[in-house]
Structure formats: structure tokens, C-alpha cells
Amino acid sequence: MDSHSECAICFHNVNVIYSSSSQKSHPFHQNQLKKYFTLRDIVSKHFIPTCSTMFRSGLFKDFPEWYYALSMGDWPLHVLNAEHGTAGYINELMGTYRVHEGGQWSLTGRITILKNTIHAATTIDQYLEHKFHTI
């Protein structure tokens, strides 16, 4: 981050491991990603493994009130940080994301996850004054 002052965030690839199934572990990102992402990219899709994220401190003073009403915090946090610079991607496996029955998302049904994601997207869209509404 010191050598890339344009970046507000950086993240890397992680290995996904399934603790209770026969699914084989695999990289979170199996295709090559570009090196830098903008706010537009981050608003359009939640693709940053949270356990791999590092961001600059003090980019914004306080979390907005709407942030606390969401059931997810990682994607909205990436959006808040990306308002202050790009997100740099390091194409190396430097962490592990474990999928297990005790995980927050694992305990949540697919319909609820989709509803929560739509609510977050709508809230972010309003916060950004519909600048990226079409995506």
C-alpha cells in the first residue's frame, strides 16, 4: 500500500476449503483478475474475499447510519473505502476461506441471502445517489 498511494484497498486470492463435504478446495478466483478495481467495479459485484482485505485507516470518519441496518458489512465497507481510491489485487493465494455449517452465511437460507443482498444493493444505490444504478 505504501508504494501504491492510489489504492484505498488491497486484497488477494484465497483458497476455499469445505469442511463438511466432499467438495475439493479451490481458489476463490479461478480466473485471472485485473490488477486494479474502481468503485464502479466494487458496486457492481461482491467479489472481494473479506479475509484477504486490507484498507487504509481513516478514509472516512464514521459509518453512515444505513450501514448498521444491513445484515452484511463487508461489501458495503468495500464500497465506502473504494470512494477514496482503487482496490489493488494481488494474484497470490495468501489465505484460506473455510465453508462450514457454523458460518454466518452457511446458516442462512438462499432466499434470505438473496433478499439481504438486494437490500444492501438498494441501500448502496441510494447512498451513491443512483450514480451506478444501471449496473
Measured CA to CA in angstroms, residue 56 lies from 36, 86, 87, 113 at distances of 16, 11, 11, 29
Candidates 41, 18, 27; CA nearest to 91 is: 27
pLDDT tens per residue, range 31-88: 999 999 999 999 999 899 999 999 999 999 999 999 999 999 999 999 999 999 999 9
Q: What is the pLDDT of residue 102?
A: 63
Confidence (pTM): 0.89
